Amino acid sequence: MQRDQLADFLRLRREAIRPAEAGIPEGPRRRTHGLRREEVAMLAGMSVDYVVRLEQGRSSQPSPQLLGALARALRLSDDERDHLFHLAGHRPPPADGVARLARAGLVRMLGLLGDTPAMVLSDLGEALAQNRASVLLAGDRTGFSGDRRYGVYRWFTDPAARAAGVPEEREHHARRLVADLRAVAGRRSGDPTVTGLVDRLR
């Protein structure tokens, strides 16, 4: 993670974007060039303090979900988003990665749930974001790579994943996963991510 370069990049992008581009009205008394830190925090669904620490090079490494939220808040291009991920020490999301990143509002909602375990899942069962209670209960589900990102893949290829379920409900759960995957394949026909996953599960 390149903290100083990340801090400079975020500050410059915040100052470069016009409020109207982010859907924020510009009042006649506004003197700030670009967005205020408070506005970036609101748009990205994170605390103002964290935005300040990011811009001062004092933050912990931001997660891919937070980077995705920042990229959307700052209206970054694909190349700028990839640069942001590199500076933060993460591999940029693949071509379909924009849809895989949890929306800022959902990430913010997870934080508001407090001690209630919750996570955001994609239509393929990939954990896009978790709150702290969910991580403590089920472990970090956002760190898988390759096909193991998808819950349906882990269920059918990893005995340990199946063993975590209630034995009497495993067959029903398997049928539901298959039905869900068929529905996704129908909605996203021709999507190589889905067709490739189906082929590898056969």
Q: Tokens standing for 43? A: 């748009």
The half-sphere exposure of 123 on its side-chain side, counting CA atoms within 13 A, is: 16
**What's the rounded Cα separation, in Å, for the pair 20 and 163?**
52
**What's the rounded Cα separation, in Å, for the pair 56 and 58?**
5
Q: pLDDT per residue over 75-94, tens digit each?
A: 888 788 889 999 999 888 76
Q: Chain-wide mean pLDDT for the chain?
A: 84
Where is average pLDDT lowest: 24-33, 150-159, 169-178, 193-202?
A: 24-33
- The CATH fold assigned to 3-99 is 434 Repressor (Amino-terminal Domain) (1.10.260)
Q: Please, are residues 46 and 57 in contact by the beta-carbon 8 Å criterion?
A: no
> CB within 8 A of 57, min separation 6: which ones?
3, 4, 6, 7
Asked if residue 54 has pLDDT above 90, the reply is yes
Q: In the chain, which residues fall in CATH 1.10.260.40?
A: 3-99
How confident is residue 6, by pLDDT bands cut at 50, 70 and 90?
very high
Asked if residue 52 has pLDDT above 90, the reply is yes
Length of the chain: 202
Q: pLDDT per residue over 136-147, tens digit each?
A: 888 888 777 788
Q: pLDDT per residue over 91-141, tens digit each?
A: 887 655 445 566 666 777 887 888 899 988 888 888 888 888 888 888 888
H or E segment at 191? Answer: none
Mean per-residue pLDDT for 144-153?
A: 86
**What's the rounded Cα separation, in Å, for the pair 51 and 135?**
23
pTM above 0.75, yes or no: no
pLDDT value, residue 110: 80
